[in-house]
Copies of this chain bind each other. A is one copy, B any other.
Amino acid sequence: MAVNLIPPDRARLRPVAGVRLGTAQAGIRRPNRKDLLVIALAEGTRVAGVFTRNRFCAAPVTVARAHLDEGEQIRALVINTGNANAGTGERGLADARATCGVAAQLLGLSAGQVLPFSTGVIMEPLPVQRIAAGLPACIADLKPENWAAAAEAIMTTDTVPKAASRSVPLGGAEIALTGIAKGAGMIRPDMATMLCFIATDAAVSQPALKSALQFASDRSFNAITVDGDTSTNDAFIVMATGLAGNAEIVVEDSPEFVALRDALTEIAAELARAVIRDAEGATKFITVRVESGATRDECRKVAYAIAHSPLVKTAFFASDPNLGRILAAIGYAGINDLDVSAVDLYLDDVRVASAGGRDPAYREEDGQRVMRQSEITVRVALHRGHELATVWTCDLSHDYVTINAEYRT
């Protein structure tokens, strides 16, 4: 089902010095599948994270945030699928802390040095016993080469594992970045997506790492939507072990910082687009690019109005150039002083609308030709300024309804 998305090539996923990964089958929800992952980090690794803004955020999000804020050296991450530990109240918090405690004991750490992450069904108690029973196998499996297995272990309704890797010459050294992500539904990140973990061996200060993470997340996981539902469990974590041998990056405008930030952004955007390509029921990958707006925020509003409209999304599913629905979405996006007669709408290279209506040169067969493609760019020119924003999304198909009507059964 995934749109032009192939599984990552294991040989191209570079190990990151100081990072080891181990997986296990803990039977958390279903038997016979990897559902538990431990990421162990070398001493001195710097870790930064952004998390969902959902007020009903999951217990592990609350605990991970607290452990990061307490400032202890983070040395391990524990990630389970099958159960989100969200909407679980006080018991959920205790369960997340217990998970950290067991992992810490096995690894010779304190509980505050472990970050917990969960994804799966909401409002069911976390089976801590099964996680505890599975952790020794994860730890026995810890290896730097396990990125591909890790990408598989965090999948839920994903059909394709998502991983990406880059290397960048930087400050006299060659640094590696490798990351994994999961997510296919309940995707409209408001800060970060479901789960994404990217590691690098670059030496970089904590503030510079956090700044690069913010930049990357705004241009990747904060620019995608499947269904407009912001998850309870979103987290995007970046880990820098500092073992590459480069001079530590401290200054945020330096060429080295920009090189690291841009490499991080590239990987994050590739993984974010992979989430959309693998979105529940998706048959088309849609790029919505809104340009010449007065502010980046108004461009994002218009892009999300188009990307969230069920009418627009079903028209893409049908390959039907019923493009008035896109005009309607632009019109209700919330720009109160929008001059619709100035708006241009393009489907790839085809100008569809101008001067408040159908473009005189537009022909239905041109719209039809573009709509049949599996990758389509919707481009809107507002002609109000010089800002722009891009959002990636997918169509709304019968399979989306089927998958989400049957998820728990």
Contacts and interface: CB of A to CB of B under 8 A. Distances in A.
Interface string A316-340: 0110101111011111100110101
A334 to B, nearest CB: 9
A338 B54 CA distance: 10
Nearest to A93: B356
Interface string A334-362: 01101011000000000001011110000
Interface residues of A, number: 67
A332 B231 CA distance: 8
Contacts of A5: none
A370 interface: no
A84 B327 CA distance: 13
Chain B CB within 10 A, most for which of A87, A308, A400, A408:
A87
A407 B320 CA distance: 9
A118 to B, nearest CB: 12
Contact of A332 (B54, B89, B353, B407): B54
A405 interface: yes
A406 B317 CA distance: 10
Interface stretch (A68-76, A222-230, A267-275): A222-230
B401 A328 contact: no
Chain B CB within 10 A, most for which of A309, A318, A328, A397:
A328
Contact of A355 (B86, B90, B409): B90
A319 to B, nearest CB: 9
A227 B314 CA distance: 11
A168 B265 CA distance: 66
Contacts of A341: 89
Contacts of A121: 322, 324
A88 interface: yes
Interface string A298-318: 000000000011110011011
B357 A310 contact: no
Nearest to A92: B357
Nearest to A329: B229
Contacts of A215: none
Contacts of A86: 324, 327-328
A90 B314 contact: no
Contact of A317 (B53, B329, B401, B408): B401
Contact of A353 (B87, B229, B357): B87
A54 B90 CA distance: 44
A243 interface: no
A211 interface: no
B309 A228 contact: yes
A378 to B, nearest CB: 15
Contacts of A186: 311, 325, 328
A327 B56 contact: yes
A66 B45 CA distance: 66
Contacts of A329: 229
A372 B228 CA distance: 26
Contacts of A56: 327-328, 330-332, 340, 356
Interface in A345-387: 353, 355-358
A396 B401 contact: yes
A165 B185 CA distance: 44
Contacts of A230: 328, 331-332
A12 interface: no
A358 B91 CA distance: 10
A123 interface: yes
9 contacts: A56-B332, A86-B327, A87-B353, A122-B328, A123-B327, A123-B358, A232-B327, A315-B404, A397-B401
Q: Which 10 A-B pairs have the closest CB atoms?
A: A122-B324, A89-B357, A56-B331, A123-B324, A318-B405, A314-B404, A230-B332, A54-B331, A89-B356, A55-B331
